[in-house]
Amino acid sequence: MEKIKMNNPIVEMDGDEMTRILWQMIKDELLIPFIDLNTKYYDLGLKSRDESNDEITKEAANAIKECGVGVKCATITPNADRMKEYSLKEMWKSPNGTIRAILDGTVFRAPIIVKGIEPYVKTWKKPITIARHAYGDIYKAVEIKVPCAGKAELVFTDENGNETKELIHEFKGAGVLQGAHNLNKSIESFARSCFNFALDTKQDLWFSSKDTISKKYDGEFKKVFSDIYENEYKAKFEAAGLTYFYTLIDDAIARVVKSEGGFIWACKNYDGDVMSDMIATAFGSLAMMTSVLVSPDGKYEFEAAHGTVQRHYYNHLKGEKTSTNPVATIFAWSGALRKRGEMDGNSELMHFADNLEKASIATIESGKMTKDLSLITSMANPISLTSEEFIKAIREELEKLQGGEAKDERLVKLEEFLDCKTVAEKRDVFKEMKDILDDKLINDIAASLDIVVDEGDIEKRYRSILNCLNTMEKYETNRFR
Ligand code: NAP
Ligand code: MG
């Protein structure tokens, strides 16, 4: 079997502890045997960050700007304990924070759904993706503990010295005060990242805040989203058959719980912090959450949502075999490889990414899983494996799916199209082929339908076949009545 080629690299960011061990296993077993892996490697392990005075993190972030795609292993965010453990020169900032600041991105988190790990909410059938605005509000607020009676005012002095003043409260006794802010530039980037990601993943976008109470602050969020939607995205959303929907945060929660999922929920900073943990837990496991940072200009960084799984690492250092779940880290790789494939028109690479995900899911659904999942599965007799055994089991599935030689995605889809029994099914498969269509594929399809499609641009030719299929479908339905 020939290895899949990559024309352009992805930025690879290695990390810490147990996830660093999984990282190497995943590369050795699931990637390198199948792909001529082309990466720009940055070691973001804590030791390397310390040695480079954290310059390596900035270099990696800038490399993502250049390459367009990155994949990151979980990393330690130092605290006082870690300062001692690693004899650090400084308490370096969170790498994720640094990368996010350089890319100006929004983080989208989505659960991986498998049969046998049922969401606690019975109606949920599809993933719910949370987009969290990662700037300002209480996370950049200043606070005062009010010790006694007195007057609190909100004062803004503009650059010419003009003051705007609002009374906050006349305190009769002790209390607390908080000053929060946000920036239109940041809200605009957030909105654009959300609209782009919705189009990219073909999902509806919901946004929620509390503008009935916070008329100016949350009101501005609502307005920025609405203006950007109307001016830049409405036409694209309509063409893609997608909806943008604004509602109050409490109404959103009620609707989310009753929904079947399959949309993106954009949240303000605090709402996103809280709701992403609720969604992760309610879908079953933090170890099954993926995370992708998307910049407003379309750069992507993929990772697992969980941390370095420190407790398991200490067991690993003692020589024990751990059963740490690698699935979210595998999906970070598949996400990055698929995106690279999309950007380069490399359908083999995209197909491999799909198979890697299918193999991981099929392994779990066959009853083989890591301990965290075997404890919560609804399956009767799950087999609990170590990380190494589990990754080897995925490798077996992957080899089956990749077959002797990797098949071109276009061929696979064409076969699926030809196998359809009804025109309605053919039309659905044809719609799924939209992004991979080339002239040859269009001609093959036209020939199979016994029609001729004029030469011209792909989009036009696509529509013309779609129209034909719609007409044929109407005829077919009438005939069956
Ligand atoms: P964590 O690494 O996410 O682990 C917390 C607990 O969740 C684990 O002890 C384990 O529970 C369970 N868990 C998480 N991922 C798992 C997996 N893949 N398989 C099986 N169980 C899993 O969070 P933490 O222990 O609070 O943080 C450890 C380090 O990670 C910290 O230094 C933190 O700074 C860093 N961190 C990094 C990122 C990032 O890079 N994106 C994110 C969060 C935290 P049991 O112990 O019960 O088995
Ligand atoms: Mg949180």
Residue owning the nearest CA to atom 1 of ligand 1: 307
Cβ(462)–Cβ(442) under 8 Å? yes
pLDDT at 368 over 90: yes
Q: How far is CA 19 from CA 84, 95, 161, 280, 349, in A?
A: 21, 15, 53, 19, 24
% of residues, the chain, pLDDT over 90: 82
Distance 272 CA to ligand 2 centre (A): 8
Tell me the ligand closest to 14's alpha carbon: 1
H or E segment and range at residue 164: strand 163-171
Question: Looking at residue 231, what is its pLDDT?
Answer: 97
Distance 278 CA to ligand 2 centre (A): 9
Provide mean pLDDT across the span 404-428.
Answer: 81
Q: Retrieve residue 57's tokens.
A: 């993190």
Q: Is 75 in the pocket of ligand 1 (CB under 6 A)?
A: yes
Distance 281 CA to ligand 1 centre (A): 14
Average pLDDT, the chain: 93
Q: Is 363 in the pocket of ligand 1 (CB under 6 A)?
A: no
Condensed to tens digits (0 to 9), the pLDDT of residues 454-473 reads 888 899 999 999 999 999 98
Condensed to tens digits (0 to 9), the pLDDT of residues 225-253 reads 999 999 999 999 999 999 999 999 999 99
* DSSP structure string for 2-15: PPBP-SS-EEEEE-
Residue owning the nearest CA to atom 44 of ligand 1: 307
Distance 341 CA to ligand 1 centre (A): 30
Question: Looking at residue 410, what is its pLDDT?
Answer: 79
Question: Looking at residue 308, what is its pLDDT?
Answer: 97
Closest of 98, 12, 85 to residue 53, by C-alpha: 98
Q: Which of 57, 276, 306, 322 to mutate to test the pocket of ligand 1 (most atoms within 8 A of CB)?
A: 306
Question: Looking at residue 297, what is its pLDDT?
Answer: 87
Question: Looking at residue 105, what is its pLDDT?
Answer: 83
Residue owning the nearest CA to atom 27 of ligand 1: 307
Most confident region among 41-55, 87-101, 423-437 by mean pLDDT? 41-55
Question: Looking at residue 256, what is its pLDDT?
Answer: 95
Nearest atom (ligand 1) to Cα of 74: 40
Condensed to tens digits (0 to 9), the pLDDT of residues 3-45 reads 999 999 999 999 999 999 999 999 999 999 999 999 999 999 9
pTM here? 0.80
Distance 309 CA to ligand 1 centre (A): 4
Cβ(370)–Cβ(387) under 8 Å? yes
% of residues, the chain, pLDDT over 70: 98
Nearest atom (ligand 1) to Cα of 328: 18
Q: Where are the beta strands (DSSP E) in 345-441?
A: 368-369, 383-384
Tell me the ligand closest to 130's alpha carbon: 2
Q: Is 287 in the pocket of ligand 1 (CB under 6 A)?
A: yes
Question: Looking at residue 28, what is its pLDDT?
Answer: 96
pLDDT at 263 over 90: yes
